[in-house]
Structure 1
């Protein structure tokens, strides 16, 4: 998307009487920060591919501002900012849903628009449960879900249970549902045995899923949930050829649904609008989020396969779930304009071209680094996994906080780059990686700058 220069941001003027506004740069902030003992950098503006802090530091990041989206938001605000979707629809939600459904060739026939990826996953789980209760011959015994280790699907209790982010689950384990079971990730760097072929590894993972179905009772499994391409928790691991197709075959054999989580990998990030387009599969339910609205407004969605919609239509005729801000007109208007721009500016070919260049440059600059164990990705979504020993793949101890140190170092003025950190990928506790996700209209010059700055950060931290 094109550059957009925001208006000058003026400091608020305290009122003459009453409670005066306090400078948020002080320690008197009312914000509950993620790290309570540390105030994050304060972002006051943006320029092109950069975030601008209140002290003038420009940080290379992955989101671009575009005046066309700003105008669409303002236009919608002037029309109608909100209408409760339980009683009303609105043109913005209708337009966005139509463009999404059409983008799948009608394979997914309805869109349920919410505000976050977590909410989309929560809705997908409920939709799957309801589907089996509304079949002509109901199957209410299907209440179990199978997901994968080192996966992440959200932070509400339902989505947290479906995922396997050990650190985020830890203190809530006692109240998480016990009907979710996990199988291994498709993680060739650590999962493939020496000498094992791709075909044999995929067959082994499919057999593991089959065995899990059998141990649980095949007719009790509601759905298998997986990220089409793993996100920040495992670190940008693409599915091996034939993997998702093999997993779907297991689901179909036993009548279970396939839910694909594309909150991070979808809406163009991996080179096609839907990541499943590259895998030879069509999900029964699909979640989307981050690339949908490009960060302009809180928005996500659940795309529903036609056969699921048809089942509910013939059954109760309603989805037994709703949220106050689903289908929010302003968010939908922003996302609709973002999706139009992706088409108008022909951005997906650039994602593929620049993604290939990013991968090649990462291998060229960092492939021989003794502490870079694996370089992986697809499209404009790449990760570097770090190890103490390249031969043994030994991870750094969690106490070293390698990923977070890389992130913090990247924010120093001499580097000024935002590197997304992740840890626990190796086994849920050990393992460090960083993710790189440039904007869809990135250039070769920006890719070179990203790799150069990331390489210098890695050199400072790991030597």
Structure 2
């Protein structure tokens, strides 16, 4: 990949390609960490950024409003959700945790201090968001610092968890029972929220939920007065075929976090989105005005075409166990044995080897890899 173990140096980019210092053109097939969904060197975006910087680079939110914020509010006004801009995906998830707790304090329920998330998940690198996640490798160095009030349940991994002859309804019922058992174990009146990624990203490789899963989980949350928080930092902003991944799930979250595709790598921007139930109380407690969020945006048929090609070209191979995802957000799980679904030993670093081979001069393709996902719980 590069001499001396160093990463290659990127010096430029245009459209789907990144130019390296050695002159190679790399097809950016993953948008970095699923970020650059508008491509590199997009002149329309660059012109807009330059125009804004030449007028005003920063206006303190506590002192001033500005035209850019108002224009964003106008663009975002068509649905009942509201948007609070932040800088990073981790910050948005940290803020979502805090907003959920504050909402319940406003309701007179300050004892709700526990959160339920899922194993083999990732929600950010701040101490709060890292505590939510179930990514063992990223958590390990900081375990002693992480919040104690986070309980994790198994994810919705159809490939590895679904029983033989188990129907969608039966699988969903089992998953909802796992969530309800967590509520009862913690004490229903102590739980703030259930947090999940609609399509799991980096932690386990583009795992979508089975039909009916999220409505069932929302029903459990509603039963016990807790909130549903969806982390769409990686899967949102059109990546799965609709503006929000939850639009395909038949459920609307109480709070949502978006990032990455929101600014496509041109600016560090993320956002917390609050539904009516939460935003109404925010208004009552004099929170600042939040722009409204737009209705769904559907991708062109490229997602279906990508799915078709991935399954036709790669599904035939012995070590390709599962190809999954939605829209333009797809992952491939490599296995040692296709019949038993036995994973490779994580110490072999198979996914990283595939990434390195793809990035080498023979292929010149950048792909995103996760290592040892199946070796964790779930």
Q: If the length of structure 2 is used for normalisation, what is the TM-score?
A: 0.92
Deviation at residue 239 of structure 1 after TM alignment: 1.3
Gaps of 5+ in 1: 1-26, 28-36, 320-326, 333-338, 431-463
Match of 1:363 among 311, 320, 324: 311
Structure with bigger RCO (C-alpha 8 Å, 6+ apart)? 2
Checking the alignment, whether the CA contact within 8 Å between 2:120 and 2:377 is kept in structure 1 is no
Q: Find the counterpart in structure 2 of residue 82 from structure 1.
A: 58
- 2:343, 2:375 within 8 Å by CA — same for their partners in 1? no
What secondary structure is seen at the aligned counterpart in 1 of 2:331? strand
Aligned: 1:401 with 2:349: yes
Quote the RMSD (CA, aligned, Å): 2.2
Distance 2:331 2:116 in 1: 26
Q: CA deviation at 1:426?
A: 1.5
**Aligned partners of 1:177 and 1:368: how far apart in 2?**
44
Q: Deviations over 1:367-409 (max 9, x none)?
A: 1211000000110000000001001111111110011111111
Does 1:66 find its partner at 2:47? Answer: no
Structure with bigger gyration radius: 1
Deviations 1:61-117 (A, max 9, x none): 134132111110001001100112232232222322442342xx22x1x21111111
Cα distance in 1 between the residues matched to 2:168 and 2:239: 24
Which residue does 1:382 correspond to in 2?
Answer: 330
- Aligned ranges 1:164-175 → 2 under 5 Å: 164-175=134-145
Residue equivalent to 2:231: 261
3-state SS of the aligned residue for 1:420? coil
SS of residue in 2 equivalent to 1:426: helix
Instruction: String of CA shifts for 1:315-354, please: whole Å, max 9, x gaps.
Output: 3x238xxxxxxx9xxxx9xxxxxx99xx9xxx8332xx11
Q: Which residue of 2 aligns with 1:281?
A: 251
Aligned to 1:196: 166
Task: Give the Å deviation of 1:429.
Answer: 7.7
Q: Which runs of 5+ in 2 are unaligned?
A: none
Query: What's the CA shift string for 1:9-45, capped at 9, x where partnerless?
Result: xxxxxxxxxxxxxxxxxx9xxxxxxxxx842211111
* Residues 330-369 of structure 1 aligned to structure 2 (within 5 Å): 348-350=298-300, 353-369=301-317
* Distance across 1 between alignment mates of 2:376 and 2:63: 44
Aligned residue pairs: how many?
Answer: 365
**Pair 1:41 & 2:8 matched:** yes
Query: 1:101 touches 1:111 (CA, 8 Å); kept in 2?
Result: no
- Residue 318 of structure 1, aligned match among 251, 270, 287: 287
How far did residue 171 of structure 1 move?
A: 1.1
Whole-angstrom distance in 1 between the partners of 2:238 and 2:54 = 30
- Per the alignment, residue 106 of structure 2 pairs with 134
Residue in structure 1 matched with residue 279 of structure 2 by the alignment: 309
Q: How far apart are 1:306 and its partner, in Å? A: 1.9
* Structure 2 residue aligned with 1:239: 209
String of CA shifts for 1:117-137, please: whole Å, max 9, x gaps: 1000000000001001112xx
Tell whether the 8 Å contact from 1:114 to 1:300 is kept in structure 2 after alignment.
yes
